[in-house]
Every structure is written in C-alpha cells, then in structure tokens.
Amino acid sequence: MERFVQVLVDGIATGSIYAAVALALVLIFRSTGIVNFAQGEMAMFSTFVAWGLYEAGVPLGFAVLSTLVLSFLAGMAIERTLIRHFEGGEVLTLVIVTLGLFILLNGLAGWIWGFENRAFPSLFPDDAVDVVGVRLSVESLGIVAVLLGVVGLLFLLFQRTKIGLAMRAAALNPESSALVGVRVGTMLMLGWGLAAALGALAGVLVAPRLFLDVNLMGSVLIYAFAAAALGGFDSALGAVVGGWVIGVSENLAGTYVDFIGADLKILVPLGIIFVVLLVRPAGLFGTREVARA
Amino acid sequence: MSLLEVEGLHAAYGPVRVLQGLDFSVEQGRKAAVLGPNGAGKTTILRALSGMVNARGRVEFDGQSLVGKPTAEIARRGVAHVPEGRGTFGSLTVEENLRLGAYVRSDGEEVRKDLHQVYGWFPRLGERQGQAAGSLSGGEQQMLAVARALMLRPRLLMLDEPSLGIAPIIGKELFRALGEICDEHGMTVLLVEQNAGLALDFADHAYVLESGRIALSGEADQIKGDDDVRRSYMGY
C-alpha cells in the first residue's frame, strides 16, 4: 500500500510538470490560436539561464525567481517582435514560425552553453517526510504544491482581476475588446509572457530529475501536448487533469505491469488519450462556445 | 461647438469606395441619426470613426483628431460603439460583459453604482447577471450590448442598427428606454439605423445617406413630417 501511494504521488508530481507546460500551451492557444511548438525550447533556454545565474554564485531561489521574471519579459518580447507579424495568419505559417523558433533557441542554447549534460540542483531538500504513515519525497510534494499554487494564482488572475478579464475578452473577441478600450496587443503580449514564465518554472522543476542539456524539454513537451489534447486544448483545468492522468498512469503501469517497464510506459497514457479522443474529440474539458440563435 | 465634427470623410474596403466625402456633425447633448438603405455605408461611418477601417478626412472629437488612432485609444477618449451584430462576449457572463464596458474607467466605486443603475434600467440583465451572454435571446443581447456601452459613461454613444434582428416590440422598448436614459443624462448619440420610423422618433437631428453621400439633413421632426422625403428616401 505504501509503495502504491508513493508511486501515485510521484506520478502526480511528474504529471504536475507536464501540466505546467500544458498550461503554458493552453494559455497561448486560447489567446492567439497558436500551438506553440517552441514552448519546450523556451523553457529549456530559461532553465539554462537559471543554471548560469546559479553557477555565477546567485543563490538558487533568487536565480529561479529572476529567471521567471526574465522569461516573462522575454516571452513578451517574442510575441511583440516575432509572433505579432503572423497573428491571424495561416495556421501553417504559424506552425513554421514556432518550429523555427524551436530550432533557433535549441541551436542558440548549444552555442552559448554547449551540448554536454549539466547537473541542475533541486529547489527542494533531498529528503522524505511521513504523511499518515507513508514516506513521501519532499521534492514530489513540493512540485505538486508549486503547481497547485500556480494554478491558484492563475485562477485569481483570470477570474478576479480586471486585467485577467480583459485577457480573456481579448482572446474571445479582439474587435469587441478594442471597442471597450482593451489594448489587445498588450493582452497577447502578457499571455506570451505568462506562458514563458510557466514554462521556465516547469524547466527548473524537471531539470533536477533529468540532466540539463539542450534536449531537456523534448519528451516533456510531447507529454505536455498529450496532456493538453487529453484535457481539451482550450481548458486550463483540462491541462492540469490531463497532466496528472498521464503522469500517474505511466508511473503506475511502469511499476506494476512487468512487460511494460520503463521503456514502454509512454504507451499507456497514449492509449488512454486515444480512447478519450475517440469518445470526446474536444478532450475531457474542451468547450464549445455557448450560442443561441 | 459640436462635439463631433466630420468633414470630407472617405473610407474604402480595398478598391471599393464606400464613403465619398461626408460632412456632418453631432452637437453636444443631442441625438443624431443617419438613415439610409442597406449598403449605403451606414455601418462604415461608425467603423471609420472607431478606427476599424482606414479613413481619410477630418474627424474631430472635442477638438482632437481621431483619424488614424487605434480603436482602443478612441474608446479611451469616451467613444462607445455598439457594433452591428452586438459583439457581446458569448462565453463570458452578463456581469463580466458589463464590467468590460467599464474597463477603461478607474473609479471602481462609481462603476459598481453604474452596474446597479444598468440593472435598474434593464431588469432582465439583472436577472441573468451570472448567465453566459451567449445564452441570452437576441433582444437581451442587444440590451446587453447597449448597457455595456453605457458602462463606459460615454461622451459619445454610437449605435449600429440596434433594432436589427430583434422582435419589433423589443426594438421599440429598447429605443424607449434608451431615449429616457439619454435625455436624463444629456448624452450625445450618433445612431445609424435602417428603421427610419424608430430612428426619427428617437433622434433630434437626422442625416439621410445615399450611396456614400449625405443626401439630406434636417431636424428629425421636419423630416418625419415631409411626405416627399419619406417616400423618396425611406420607402414608407
């Protein structure tokens, strides 16, 4: 039983990282209708920045916080200087632009920091605590707590603040938003900034579990896409639930089903996604706009 | 001096010239209506004033030029535009739609009061404040669009065919409520409307638009009483 709970919590922790990246994807998709293939590489680049600051002697916590702020600013800059020119254009054009950004950031990171593996320190102590008789790793619990905190903050931002309301409005109907005085471009910039910061957070959370190199986010991005597709690409709640379902199912299957093991465990969540999307093509929480003629 | 002065307004969609040199003005505290058939360019006038289509000419709002300004900046100067087709945010609630109307205002306390005021004017919106705007009937959505514009406390209220696509009785009701609100607050209004009967009852002054030009201008009562004008331009 203890083993089961441990596997479950680890799965939720891994899933929380997928969920953070999936949330970033959903944020950008909802506001600009763009599937941002560069999301993972933006996060990898941010993680390198955090690592660079840490190596230069900046305390880890402060290095991470500075990186989140820098990533937010860089995300806004990317929207303003690059993406803005293509918004509202052909979907394929946008796909190519974000893929180009993917390759650019990947190459740039290699050029600056090299291609070897680096160890990235964890934000949490390498320790375990007793929770009602079960030993759980502090790191796993910490990751879950961080994600829940972020989701809570995002909820407050979008549901309880004026700027959050304006961001939702700009995503839904740019023309009407401008008519009430919302600067739509600024809202899209903010959306990209938030997504970049979220991705950076996922990067510094996942890096200690893997090694930091230019391909850090490769597999995470695929899982995040899967989580977003499972939850419904326009649903924040869906992104979180999708991330957890994937993290938990791959962990459980990898541990308990002998012939699956570590190599085949990705097949389990993909199987679940396949079935869910057959039944609900819009994803678990994907919405269609309410309309009455 | 007029609150809004327009001189030689031209606007085009690509090669199609829609407005060909309009001159008109709206006096402070007065209600002006632009009448005309489908395709005369009524909607384009409002879109040009709001910076949603490229326009040439002189547009002065309270002494400042609006030509070339982005839509959001024009709204921030106090021009509220209720667009054709209402432009409500379907998946947001009624209350969120209204709050967005007051987005550029920073007087939170007054906004809350205005919200109550608006629910007083349009009780149906009050009953549905937590409901998604997209689930409202056509007439209710039109009310919401007008109410959202009022939440700006606009210095100029621009209305694009508010009677379009809603039941005649509700259209009448909406214009009656709107007339009362405008008179009470001395609001300046620019209305474009195909339904000449409704518009002339509502407005003080009227312009008749024909193929992108002002064909006729006069006090609403005068135009209403002139049988020849009615027959040639309004078809009733």
Tens of pLDDT, residues A159-191: 999 999 999 999 999 999 999 999 999 999 999
> Looking at chain A, which residue has its C-alpha nearest residue B83?
A176
Q: Is the pLDDT of residue A260 over 80?
A: no
In a domain, B116, yes or no: no
Task: For residue B34, give the CATH number of its domain.
Answer: 3.40.50.300
- The domains found in chain A, sorted by start residue, are 2-279 (1.10.3470)
What are the distances in angstroms from CA A161 to CA A213, B99, B115?
38, 11, 17
How many angstroms separate the CA of residue A31 from the nearest CA in chain B? 14
How many angstroms separate the CA of residue A275 from the nearest CA in chain B? 28
What is the number of CB-based contacts under 8 A between chain A and chain B? 78
Domain count, chain B: 1
Classify residue B124 by burial, with Cβ atoms within 10 Å: 0-12, 13-18, 19+. middle
CB contact under 8 A, B92 and A176: no
CB contact under 8 A, A168 and B101: no
Tens of pLDDT, residues B1-35: 689 999 999 998 888 888 999 999 999 999 999 99
pLDDT at res. B234: 65
> Looking at chain A, which residue has its C-alpha nearest residue B149?
A180
Helix H or strand E encompassing B20: strand B16-27
- B72 close contact with A: CB closer than 8 A: yes
The whole model's pTM is what? 0.89
Angle A287-A289-A293 from CA coordinates, rounded to 5°: 145
How many angstroms separate the CA of residue A27 from the nearest CA in chain B? 17
CB contact under 8 A, B134 and A291: yes
Could you please report the per-residue DSSP string of B67-83?
TT--HHHHHHTTEEEE-
- Partner-chain residue, chosen from A181, A182, A290, that has the shortest CB–CB distance to B90: A290
| % of residues, chain A, pLDDT over 70 | 98
How many angstroms separate the CA of residue A69 from the nearest CA in chain B? 26
Classify residue A244 by burial, with Cβ atoms within 10 Å: 0-12, 13-18, 19+. buried
The two most distant CA atoms of chain B are separated, in Å, by: 51
The Cα–Cα gap between B54 and B76 comes to 19
Name the strands in the sheet holding B205-210, side by side, starting at the edge strand that comes first in the sequence.
Answer: B79-82, B156-160, B189-193, B31-35, B205-210, B213-219
How many Å separate Cα B169 from the centre of its chain? 19
Domain ranges, residue B203 = 2-89+153-234
Length of chain A in terms of residues written: 293
